[in-house]
Amino acid sequence: MRRLALPTIAAIVLALVPGTSSAAEGPARLVLQGKGWGHGHGMSQYGAQGAALHGLNHRQILRFYYPGTRWGRAGGKVRVLISADTTADVVVRDRAGLKVRSLGNGMTVDLRKARPAARAWRITAASPTRSLVSWKGRSGGWQRLRTVKGDAQFQATGPITLVTPSGSVAYRGALRSATVKPGRKARDTVNVVSLENYLRGVVPAEVIAGAWRPAALRAQSVAARTYAAYERQHPLARHYQLCDTAQCQVYTGTSNEHPRTDAAIERTRAAVLTHRGRPAFTQFSSSNGGWTSAGAFPYLSAKKDPYDAMPSNPNHTWRHVVRATAIEAAWPALGDFRRITVLRRDGHGAWGGRVDRVRVVGSRGSTTVSGDTFRSYLGLKSNWFRAR
């Protein structure tokens, strides 16, 4: 949704804090005061906790942050890219009940029966249309078990421990060696997991599981389930639907599972929010600073949020010092940093709201960028800021 331009604040110049440099050389740093952390669309996670502290239940919290949505149900599985596994193979530790399944013909092999002495298992691409399954014993060194048709995946009744270059993490569901592009040998590691078990690895990574009220945890569970159901209908790639980072939702497998978030997920089992009969795009962020920001759908509207300013919210307001050298490194063609001018805000909240457009001026020229770009380049928590 397009934000409103406000001509009355179209040329607010951010005050620059001089350092040791002379005025002719430009300011040495810029001190910014800001509000919120994230894009501000939809639910504020700290706001949900604040609303719960005010006595709202999870349905009331979700109605406030996603007005106009309806209740529905979703189940099934999701396919999640595991970003930590940067290698072309899938390596897992041996465990009871571990099997490998061919996606080409459905053939399944019980690996513990096939090689009782195995300590680890691996799937690699034997060709663009076949997968090689190997095993490793106590003595080390990979040994061939067999090739199978098409892509392949490890599966078991319980969590499977994936070995990645950065460490080991256990995942529920199946760990798939998935072809990136037909006719090529490149593979990605994809976790194929039920929607409910996926949430067990998402919700505790997105909230403070041990301290937040049940209503806030339930609201997060429904928002995360709905978001995943929406992304499943709008997949990121042919071979997976979601990623495991903050670009989608943070997903950490079984490593952060918590009984309180498990209970919230179970209490709201299969519940999602819908718009026109389909899962809604239930975006959320840590804190909105006191105002939600308008998104791409009517239920992602801009409005004042009385719940975000809860005492334990560290992101409701913030302070950030940007050195001139950081700005010069972000836009080197501009030369020495001189000043920044805010050209447009969205008109919602203090200081005229979030920054839509900002001009960065240097000794050799200037450039106009979005508030989101400025935020990203300089590591700000949000695009709602002013100079102090």
Looking at the structure of the chain, the number of domains it has is: 3
Confidence class for position 8, pLDDT limits 50, 70, 90 = very low
Domain boundary among 123, 157, 185: 185
Is residue 388 very low, low, confident or very high in pLDDT (cuts 50, 70, 90)?
confident
Clarify whether residues 151 and 65 are in a common domain: no
CB-neighbour burial class of residue 227 (10 A; exposed 0-12, middle 13-18, buried 19+) = buried
**Is residue 218 located within the same domain as residue 139?**
no
Q: Would you state the torsion angle of the CA atoms of residues 155, 160, 161, 166, taken in this order, to the nearest 10 degrees?
A: 70
Same-domain status, 28 and 58? no
Residue 287 lies in a domain: no
Structure confidence by residue, pLDDT tens digits, 231-276: 999 999 999 999 999 999 999 999 999 999 999 999 999 999 999 9
In a domain, 195, yes or no: no
pTM for this model (two decimals):
0.90
Does residue 73 sit in the same domain as residue 134?
A: no
Identify whether residues 106 and 251 lie together within a single domain: no
Average pLDDT over residues 277-298: 97
Query: What pLDDT is stored for residue 346 in this prediction?
Result: 97
Q: Say if strands 152-155 and 160-164 run parallel, antiparallel, or are unpaired.
A: unpaired
Tokens, residue 275? 């718009």
Contact 43, 223 (CB under 8 A): yes
Domain edge (last residue) among 265, 282, 299: 282
**Nearest by Cα to 205 from 292, 284, 87:** 284
Is residue 295, in this structure, part of any structural domain at all?
no
Q: Is residue 289 part of a domain?
A: no
Predicted confidence (pLDDT) per residue in 73-129, tens digit: 999 999 999 999 999 999 999 999 999 999 999 999 999 999 999 999 999 999 999
List the one residue out of 104, 199, 90, 211 whose CA is nearest residue 154: 90
- Domain end among 136, 156, 185: 185
| Residue 294: inside a domain | no
Q: Is residue 307 part of a domain?
A: no
User: 223 with 275, same domain?
Assistant: yes
Residues 169 and 101 placed together within one structural domain of the fold: yes
Domain that holds residue 129: 89-185
* Same-domain pairing of 14 and 101: no
> Does 340 fall in a domain?
yes
104 and 143 both lie in a single domain = yes
263 within a domain of the structure (yes/no): yes
Asked whether residue 13 falls in the same domain as residue 145, the answer is no
